[in-house]
Amino acid sequence: MSKIALIGPPQMVHPLSSLGLEVRGCDSGKHAQDALLSLAEKQEFSIIFITERLAMDCPEAIASLQEKINIILLPDNRGSVGLFSEKLEKLIREATGALKV
């Protein structure tokens, strides 16, 4: 069975553990990168959600894992920084042929 994980600020993600999600509360980008690599290494997760602010600090790890696992960027409790919008716009352009990869 595929699992879903969530990486974000502790005050945001810990309440969601009761929903059956694997949660990792992280206060820094380095901690988030370690959590992301640890979750991906288990090969149990089909989707890993990570907040945009933490994702900003570990783009190499996300890029290297993108083909193996679905990594979705989410805004945190302070709002969006635009990473998700940029990624979505790029995907739409690629899908419609408006952008050469």
Q: Residue 29: is its pLDDT beyond 80?
A: yes
Reported as a pLDDT band with limits 50, 70 and 90, residue 84 is: low
∠ Cα 51 57 62 (to 5°): 70
Q: What is residue 5's predicted lDDT score, i.e. its pLDDT? A: 92
Within a domain: 67: yes
pTM value > 0.85 = no
Contact criterion met (CB below 8 Å) for 70 and 6: no
Cα(71)–Cα(52) distance, integer angstroms: 11
Task: Return the bridge partners of 51, or none.
Answer: 74
Q: What CATH number should be reported for the domain holding residue 56?
A: 3.40.50.10580
Q: What is residue 34's predicted lDDT score, i.e. its pLDDT? A: 92
Q: Residue 89: is its pLDDT beyond 60?
A: yes
Structure tokens at 30: 């380095």
32-53: pLDDT as tens digits: 999 999 998 888 888 999 998 8
Domain of residue 50, residue span: 3-96
Within a domain: 101: no
Tally of domains within the chain: 1
Within a domain: 71: yes
